[in-house]
Amino acid sequence: MSGFALVQAVVIGVVVAFSAWQAFRKLLPQTSRRLLAGISAALDRPGRSAAMRRLGRWLQPAAAKAGACGSGDGCSSCGGCAPAKPVLDGADQRPLHFRSRQ
């Protein structure tokens, strides 16, 4: 294998890997955030080198860095991310009318 073919294979491999990662993030955003959070938590442990901990903090998803609403998977602790419950005060309810076939 010539040097040019090797460089070409490496460049194509990097482009394909980057494209696959972007498609994964676009199609499965919650799963990709969980995966990134798991990897960053594994890297940012006490006892790791400073470079590994810095890489772990850099990989941490932005919502997890904030530590407020949106940092979990819809924990519903504040009620801000959950859909609003419908109000059942009787004004919106209509009785069902069944009609026989003719």
Largest CA distance in the chain: 83
CA distance 63 to 72: 8
**What does the domain layout of the chain look like in residue ranges?**
1-102
Please report, as a single letter, which amino acid is at residue 91: A
Decide if pLDDT at 88 tops 70: no
pTM above 0.85, yes or no: no
In the structure, what pLDDT confidence band is assigned to residue 98 with cuts at 50, 70 and 90? confident
> Would you state the torsion angle of the CA atoms of residues 62, 65, 70, 73, taken in this order, to the nearest 10 degrees?
90
CA distance 45 to 64: 16
Decide if pLDDT at 72 tops 70: no
Express as a percent the part of the chain with pLDDT over 70.
70
In the structure, what pLDDT confidence band is assigned to residue 59 with cuts at 50, 70 and 90? confident
Decide if pLDDT at 79 tops 90: no
